[in-house]
Amino acid sequence: MTGDTKCRKVTTGSPSCPRCFLPLDRGDQATTNDAQRIQKAGARVVQINTGAGCHLDAAMVARGLEQLDPPAGSVLLIENVGNLVCPALFDLGERAKVVVVSVTEGEDKPVKYPHMFRASSLLLLNKIDLLPHVQFDVAHFLDLARQVNPHLEVVQVSATRGDGLEDWYAWLRAQRGQRQSLGAQAL
């Protein structure tokens, strides 16, 4: 996942899908601020600081998994460093990539960062509660995203109000079901 901390916080702390969203492995260049916020929501989390690096790598995730020691059947949410360039280009062993974009970031993200959108299975369009207050054309944004990746699934959410979160949780449950039929892999 690449995107908003609040969205991850409500996901990992959700009672809507027990054991679905357990541990979180998250990357940042420095600090543990976001990890502490997510931990307060009740999620187990391992903070991986990349220093000057712009992304997590598979070895970092493997070390984080050892620390988390997730129960069998868990879905691991890996939050890569919060940019839309490097995380798209590196395989962490994940089942699917999810890109989280806020309406406050601008409509042109899919064409400015096509690799992230092309590599992702799902787009979470977050902060839709702010649409009345920002200039953001959802239809245009989604058109650009689908020009880059015609197979991209989209869920529009507001982590603050809870809009669309049940659709996001359903997507995760579906991924978990597919993962169980394929064997243990990270999401």
What is the tally of structural domains in the chain? 1
Looking at residue 141, what is its pLDDT? Answer: 98
Does some domain include residue 81?
yes
Does some domain include residue 9?
yes
Amino acid at position 48, single letter? I
Does some domain include residue 98?
yes
pLDDT 10s digits, 135-183: 999 999 999 999 999 999 999 999 889 999 999 989 988 887 775 555 5
Does some domain include residue 137?
yes
Looking at residue 4, what is its pLDDT? Answer: 54
How is residue 168 written in tokens?
């996001």
The SS3 of residue 28 is: strand
DSSP 123: E
Query: What residues have CB less than 8 Å from 171, skipping those under 6 apart?
Result: 122, 153, 155
Does some domain include residue 110?
yes
Please state, as a whole number, how many other Cβ atoms lie within 10 Å of the Cβ of residue 176: 19
Does some domain include residue 153?
yes
Looking at residue 30, what is its pLDDT? Answer: 60
Looking at residue 180, what is its pLDDT? Answer: 58
Does some domain include residue 186?
no
Does some domain include residue 157?
yes
**Token pair 């890569």: residue:** 80
CATH of the domain at 23: 3.40.50.300
Looking at residue 20, what is its pLDDT? Answer: 47
CB 79 within 8 A of CB 9: no
Spans in the chain with pLDDT lower than 70: 1-34, 41, 81-82, 179-187
How is residue 23 written in tokens?
């541990």
Core vs surface per residue 21-31: b (16+ CB within 10 A) or e: bbbbbbbbeee
Looking at residue 1, what is its pLDDT? Answer: 40
Query: Domain residues for 144?
Result: 5-181
Looking at residue 161, what is its pLDDT? Answer: 92
